[in-house]
A and B are shown apart, each in its own frame.
Chain A
């Protein structure tokens, strides 16, 4: 049958930073073509297409079922592929190659991560699954 695209509303203006992104305004309604796990969603607005940060999107209607995974408080081991310094106070600073525990994989690409006794948000795009125990 036909593919039914989900509609989402922009909660804030988003100015694009590269050619492949879509510049949008608060209140715009876009159709989501693809949801990437790293938090960039491929959207369509009229005849324009491009990537938009999922965190800027809210569903028009309540989704029938939650697409979000349940938190895993035991933690899922990952290694950071790139260093990241926290910008907002709820984020975590992690060096490249550090092992962290992913507690909650959120659809907006910002995962809840634990490092030692500290918990905060970290970009999923810089995380790679690890089969190894932390040193």
Chain B
């Protein structure tokens, strides 16, 4: 079974590492 996801917002990667789209 899959546990529940964390209840806090997922962190955003540093801007220089960000990709264009999911």
* Known contacts A42-B5, A51-B5, A108 near B10 by CB under 8 Å: yes
A22, B19: Cα distance in complex, Å: 20
A39, B10: Cα distance in complex, Å: 6
Query: Which residue on A lies nearest to B5, using beta carbons?
Result: A40
Count of A residues near B, CB < 8 Å?
Answer: 37
A108, B12: Cα distance in complex, Å: 9
A40, B6: Cβ atoms under 8 Å? yes
Count of B residues near A, CB < 8 Å?
Answer: 19
Query: Which residue on B lies nearest to A16, using beta carbons?
Result: B6
Query: By DSSP majority rule, is chain A's interface helix, strand, loop, or mixed?
Result: mixed
A: residues with CB less than 8 A from B are: 11-12, 14, 17-18, 20-21, 26, 33-34, 36, 38-40, 42, 51, 53-59, 67-68, 84, 88, 106-110, 121, 123-126
Residue contacts A-B, CB under 8 angstroms, 30 given: A11-B19, A12-B14, A20-B3, A20-B5, A20-B6, A34-B2, A36-B5, A38-B10, A39-B10, A40-B5, A51-B3, A51-B6, A53-B10, A53-B12, A54-B10, A55-B11, A55-B12, A55-B13, A55-B18, A56-B13, A58-B19, A58-B22, A68-B21, A84-B9, A107-B22, A108-B22, A109-B9, A110-B10, A123-B10, A125-B7
